[in-house]
Amino acid sequence: MRGAAVLVDTGPLVALFDPSDAHHATCTQELARLERERLVTSLAVVTEATCLLEFSSRAQRALLEFIAKGAVEIANFESAAIERASALMAKYEDLPMDFADATLVVLAETLGTATVFTLDRRDFSIYRLGRRKLTILPRVR
């Protein structure tokens, strides 16, 4: 049985499918630890990850097969969610917040989760759900 939703950002998806990535081992270990969790992402994140894996069509296909097998759920995005993402991008324009990050914060609000699997500690430590901070995985040791 799966637990609470964990949002998955671009960085871990790239690291998982690029063995030369400095975070490959860490992300592989974290994914194993999260095997019972509901992993959720957005199509924007998947698009960004496939673009970053463009150096290897094999890595791109492996990522897409991983998602197609249901390892990570891709959440649906309606017009209202896109409007909310745009509002968040305006709020955090000083970072700036990109669309993929904004979709994950919208999903956090929608799904009522505050946990994100990301390598982008700088930005995700600034984003808020109301006044609440996000929990970032993998945890720093």
What is the spatial distance between Cα 130 and Cα 91, in angstroms, rounded to a whole number?
Answer: 13
Q: Is the Cβ–Cβ distance between 101 and 9 less than 8 Å?
A: yes
Q: Tell me the two tokens of residue 69.
A: 């097998």
| CA torsion angle 31 37 41 47 (round to 10) | 30
Report the number of distinct structural domains present in the chain.
1
Residue 56 per-residue DSSP state = -
- In terms of residues, how long is the chain? 141
Cα Rg of the chain (Å, integer):
14
How is 106-122 classified by DSSP, letter by letter? HHHHHHT--EEE-S-HH
Per-residue pLDDT tens listing for the chain (141 residues): 355 799 999 999 999 999 999 999 999 999 999 999 999 999 999 999 999 999 999 999 999 999 999 999 999 999 999 999 999 999 999 999 999 999 999 999 999 999 999 999 999 999 999 999 999 999 865
CATH of the domain at 27: 3.40.50.1010
Q: What is the DSSP letter of 50?
A: H
Distance CA 103, CA 65 (A): 22
Domain of residue 48: give its range.
5-137
- pTM across the whole model: 0.94
Helix (H) or strand (E) holding 129: strand 128-129
Give the DSSP H or E segment for 65: helix 57-68
pLDDT at res. 1: 36
